[in-house]
């Protein structure tokens, strides 16, 4: 199973005057910390809301310092459960973003085309296997002598190669 994990990060930024400046610096700073090791992580502005439900900008500025909410998205492959995917994402991102708090916001299970194709081929392969088993049982009684002859022909060639 593959999962798309969204992790929220609170990135501190210093010496800023506007929210836009804080957001640009936070994205740049985060990108520098993640690259080149995790260049597949997508960095987006986070969403903040007040307790009353009002949307707030992703940056909070006080005394020329800002705390910026960013969303970091990555795809985690071959996991057993969603919890496993969230642990992997937090570990991978957290190792490079030291002293930056992280929280898993969303985990989406990705539907693989291979899984869908495997399900349809499983159904058809079950029918094929049943046909092959029927054919094998029909020819197995009569074909035992042929198999022994084939084995005798193969073995001498192998022994010749070994010598």
> Could you state, in order of their start, the residue ranges of all structural domains in the chain?
2-110, 113-162
pLDDT of res. 49: 86
pLDDT of res. 36: 85
Q: Which CATH number fits domain 2-110: 1.10.238, 1.20.1260, 1.10.1060, 3.30.70?
A: 3.30.70
CB neighbour list of residue 5: distance below 8 Å, 6 or more residues apart: 73, 74, 75, 76, 85, 86, 88, 89, 104, 106, 107, 108
pLDDT of res. 123: 52
Which residues in the chain land under pLDDT 50? 117, 120-121, 130, 134, 136-143
Cβ distance 61 to 42 under 8 Å? no
Q: Record the pTM.
A: 0.65
pLDDT of res. 137: 47
Q: What is the chain's mean pLDDT, rounded?
A: 79
């Amino acid at each position: 199973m593959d999962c798309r994990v969204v992790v929220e990060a609170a990135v501190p930024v210093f010496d800023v005057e506007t929210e836009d400046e804080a957001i640009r610096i936070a994205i740049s700073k985060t990108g520098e910390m993640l690259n080149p090791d995790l260049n597949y992580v997508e960095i987006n502005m986070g969403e903040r809301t007040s307790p009353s439900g009002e949307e707030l900008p992703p940056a909070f500025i006080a005394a020329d310092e800002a705390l910026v909410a960013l969303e970091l998205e990555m795809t985690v492959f071959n996991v057993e459960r969603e919890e496993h995917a969230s642990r992997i994402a937090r570990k991978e991102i957290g190792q490079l973003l030291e002293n930056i708090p992280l929280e898993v916001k969303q985990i989406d299970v990705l539907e693989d085309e291979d899984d869908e194709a495997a399900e349809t081929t499983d159904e058809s392969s079950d029918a094929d296997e049943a046909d092959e088993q029927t054919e094998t049982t029909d020819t197995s009684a009569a074909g035992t002598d042929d198999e022994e002859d084939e084995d005798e022909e193969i073995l001498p060639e192998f022994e010749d190669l070994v010598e």
